[in-house]
Every structure is written in C-alpha cells, then in structure tokens.
Amino acid sequence: MKWKARYLLVAESLYEFAAGLFGPIYAIFVAQIGGDILTAGWAWALFAIVTGVTLYVMGLLGDRIKRDEWMVIIGFTLASFGFLGYLFVSAPWHLFVVQAILGFGWAFGTPAIDTIYSKNLDRGKTDSQWGLWEASIRIVEGVSAFIGGIIAFLFGFRILFLIMFGISVVAIFIVSSLMRAKKRKASH
C-alpha cells in the first residue's frame, strides 16, 4: 500500500471515528430535542437520501473535474460543519437541516476518496487492501460507538459534538497534507 493510501485510511478512520461517536445514542438526542421515533426516522432517511443523490452526482462530476483531493477536503469540511451543527440543534427541524448538510458533506468527497485510494493500492493486493479499509472503518465505528456513549453519559452531548468536530478537523488536515505533498512533488 502506497503512502497516499495509508494517509487516506487514517483520515477516513478518524472521520468515521468522529461520526461513530454519535451513532448509537442518536435516538436519545432526538428525544432530548423534542423529537420522537418518526423524527429520528425522517431525519435519518433525509441523511440517507441526500447522501445517495450526492454520491451519484459527485461521481459524475468527479469524472469531469479531476480534482479529487479538493473534493475530499471540501466533503470532509462540510461534514465537519455538520458535526458542529449538532451544537445548535434545539428542535426537530434543525436536525433535518444538519442531517442534510451531513449527508451532502459525507457524499461530496466519497467518490474522490475511493478513486485516490484505488489508484494507490498495490497490484495484486486490491482485495486485501480494500478489505483493510472496510475492516478498519467497521472496527473504528464499533470502538467509537462505545466511547461516544461514555462521553455523552459523563459530559453530555455538547462536549461529544465538539470532540466529533475536533477529530474531523484532524482528518481534514491529514487529507490537506496529501495536497501539500502533491504540490511539492510537482514543483520538483
């Protein structure tokens, strides 16, 4: 696995860790802002639909734009603002807005990150290296779900959301370092 693929794996794992902190306690948060089961379902459905539509559109645009690193950075940045947006959710309709932002951000750079990762895998090891990617994400999500519950229990949702935002910003810096390395390489 080339160094770019490793960087992306670390960045994506951090991003997934940040997102996973909230996963299992999402419904509890929805109840705290005055929502119910339907609110949780509609908000999650909105996230999934926005994500799906954006994935398709960004896949088409990515083939034309050819700015994969920028697309990943923009996507991570938008999603980070989505994490931060949870701080301002006090009513169900606020949650719908944040879920749409998160879905858009999450999907904005996903085709591009998959493209960069694929281009930086070792020949003859693509299955094992994609397996590492998927396994890392699932394991990180599992660990973060446990930790997120502890953080929310001990410190509340506001601290949890700030931690999610902070971790996602670190992921942005890691992806940004790929661009800086690419520029340095191009200038030599």
C-beta of residue 172 within 8 angstroms of C-beta of residue 84: no
Please, what's the largest Cα pairwise distance for the chain? 58
- Residues 159-184 have pLDDT tens digits of 999 999 999 999 999 988 877 776 66
End-to-end CA distance of the chain: 23
**What's the pLDDT at 54?**
96
Lowest mean pLDDT among 14-28, 122-136, 174-188: 174-188
Q: What domain count does the chain have?
A: 1
Quick one: 147 exposed, middle or buried, by C-beta within 10 A (0-12, 13-18, 19+)?
middle
Output the CA–CA distances (angstroms, integers) from residue 63 to 76, 110, 173, 177, in the order listed.
19, 13, 24, 23
Question: Both tokens of residue 35?
Answer: 């929502």
Q: Can you say whether the dihedral through the CA atoms of 3, 107, 169, 186 is positive or negative?
A: positive
CATH number, residue 58: 1.20.1250.20
Q: Which domain holds residue 24?
A: 3-187
Q: Exposed e or buried b for every residue in 71-88, given b needs 16+ CB within 10 A? A: bbbbbbbbbbebbbbbee
Cα gap 8→4, rounded to integer Å:
6
Nearest to 19 by CA among 45, 49, 44: 44
Q: Which residues contact 188 (CB under 8 A, 6 or more apart)?
A: none
Q: pLDDT for 29-84, tens place per residue? A: 999 999 999 999 999 999 999 999 999 999 999 888 888 888 999 999 999 999 99
Distances (CA, A) of 161 to 19, 67, 99, 152: 10, 30, 14, 9
Q: Which residue has 């949650």 as its token pair?
A: 95
pLDDT given for residue 2 in this prediction? 85
